[in-house]
Structure 1
Amino acid sequence: MQTSFLHPLRLSPGDDLRVALQHALRDVGVQAAFVVQGMGSLSVAQLRYAGAQEATALHGDLEILTLAGSLSPDGAHLHMSVANARGEVFGGHVAPGCMVRTTAEIVLALLPEHRFSREIDPRTGFAELVIRHANDGA
């Protein structure tokens, strides 16, 4: 049995990047995936910078340089770097509201034999990734 496989997808103008990736995970029927890479363009990027409590909105013609992270039914943990029309680069956690401008081309590594969840880790105080085999009890 194949334990993982790559799944390419293309998002369209107006799609919310984070929401579309969550829907893609549900649509393919797995409970664990990694975003291997992504590129494309955004009209709005919502990035939460390291240590910040809230996301910062960047507007304009933005190019996705990198996109990576994990996807679980409990949520996504995504990091992205984008460049504006002047070539300035910004990066951070992907928040809802990153709107695709022309396209986003993304490769997911689907892990059907695993189940990801996000649970509070008392050491960090954050909902962190928990990795289980799909046939393990909760």
Structure 2
Amino acid sequence: MKYKKFENTIIARIDKGEDIVEQVKNIALKENIKLASIQALGAINDFTVGVFKTKEKKYYANEFKGDYEIVSLTGTINTMNGEYYSHMHLSAGNDQGEVFGGHLNKAIVSATCEMVIQVINGQVDRYFDEEIGLNLLKL
């Protein structure tokens, strides 16, 4: 992974074999990012996305292997209890044009991933909401 910072914007290239989730964390920790938005595109060959079942308050994971293009990767970097926290969603399409997606748990790059991280001056923490069963923004 390589990246360059331009004022409050980071342009990153995540390389073949690297996990997008891990590399976002590496950048955020190295740059001490407390709040940011993320967008990306690229190619992946092994990814896991989840769907939150609200009645059960539980995530269910779906794993995919093969050739996929990232149609959309969007998310946030913020904090929970003052520590790094990210929340990303991914949609990826196969060679038949079928798209699968959800809450991003893992995505291994097969060629490249081009990412833009827009750093926001400030900090928004999260807290666990018992009723919803998720870590929500504390605003």
TM score, norm. by length of structure 2: 0.81
Query: What percentage of residue pairs aligned between the two structures are identical?
Result: 26
Alignment counterpart, residue 119 of structure 1, candidates 106, 114, 127: 127
State the Cα RMSD in Å.
1.7
Instruction: Measure, in 1, the Cα distance between the counterparts of 2:24 and 2:13.
Output: 10
* Change beyond 3 A, Cα 1:129–1:48: same
Q: What is residue 108 of structure 1 aligned with on the other side? A: 117
CA–CA separation in structure 2 for the residues paired with 1:119 and 1:63: 33
Report which of the two has the higher share of strand.
2
User: Are the aligned partners of 1:25 and 1:33 in contact in 2 as well (CA < 8 Å)?
Assistant: no
| Cα gap change, 1:32 to 1:124, in 2 (>3 Å) | same
1:50 shift after superposition: 4.2
Runs of 4+ in 1 over 6 A off after TM superposition: none
Which of these residues, 11, 19, 42, is aligned with residue 8 of structure 1?
Answer: 11
Equivalent in the alignment of 1:135: none
Residue in 1 that maps onto 2:26: 23
3-state secondary structure, aligned to 1:104? strand
Paired residue total: 125
Look up the equivalent residue of 1:9 and give its one-letter code: A
What pairs with 1:1-138 in structure 2 (closer than 5 Å)? 5-35=8-38, 37-51=39-53, 53-72=59-78, 73-95=83-105, 97-111=106-120, 113-130=121-138
What TM-score, normalized by structure 1, do the two folds share?
0.82
Deviations 1:54-91 (A, max 9, x none): 31110000100101111124321111110012111011
Structure 2 portions without partners, runs of 5+: 1-6
What residue identity is the alignment partner of 2:113?
A
Distance of 2:101 and 2:46 partners within structure 1: 13
Q: Structure 1: which 5+ runs fail to align?
A: 132-138
SS across alignment from 1:53: strand
Report the secondary structure of 2:29's partner residue. Answer: helix
Give 1:32's aligned amino acid: L
Residues 11, 18 of structure 1: alpha-carbon distance in 2 compared, 3 angstrom cutoff: same
